[in-house]
Amino acid sequence: MTTGTDHPRRTRIQQEKRELILEAALEVFSTNGFRGSTIDQIAEAAGMSKPNLLYYFRRKEDIHETLMQRLLDTWLAPLRELDDIGDPLTELRSYIRRKLEMARDFPRESRLFANEILQGAPRIMPLLAGELKTLVDEKAAVIKGWMRAGKIARTDPWHLIFSIWATTQHYADFDVQVRAVLGPNRGGDGRFEDAARFLEQLFLDGLKPKT
Residues in contact with DNA by the rule CB under 7 A = 11-14, 17, 37-41, 48-52, 54-55, 58-61
Span near a second copy by CB under 8 A; candidates 15-23, 42-50, 90-98, 190-198: 190-198
Whether the CB-CB separation of 50 and 40 falls below 8 Å is answered with yes
Quick one: DSSP state of residue 32?
Answer: H
The DSSP H or E segment spanning 175 is helix 175-186
Distance CA 171, CA 99 (A): 10
Residue partners of 55: CB distance under 8 A and separation at least 6 = none
Q: How far is the CB of 67 from DNA (least distance, A)?
A: 14
Span near a second copy by CB under 8 A; candidates 9-17, 88-96, 142-150, 166-174: 166-174
From a second copy, DNA, none, interface partner of 58 (C-beta below 5 to 8 A by class): DNA
Distance CA 112, CA 48 (A): 22
CA angle 118, 198, 143 (to 5 degrees): 70
Whether the CB-CB separation of 140 and 158 falls below 8 Å is answered with yes
Which x/- pattern over 56-95 shows residues binding a second copy (rule: CB under 8 A)? ----------------------------------------
Judged by CB under 8 A, which of 4, 8, 51, 120 binds a second copy? 120
Q: How far is the CB of 1 from a second copy (least distance, A)?
A: 36
CA distances (Å), origin 173, targets 15, 25, 86: 30, 17, 31
Nearest by Cα to 72 from 15, 140, 125: 125
Q: How far is the CB of 133 from a second copy (least distance, A)?
A: 5
How many residues sit in the footprint of a second copy (CB under 8 A)? 57
Judged by CB under 8 A, which of 119, 145, 188, 190 binds a second copy? 119
Residues forming the site for a second copy (CB under 8 A): 31-37, 111, 114-115, 117-121, 125, 128-129, 132-133, 136, 153, 155-156, 158-160, 162-163, 165-167, 169-171, 173-174, 176-178, 180-183, 186, 194-195, 197-199, 201-207
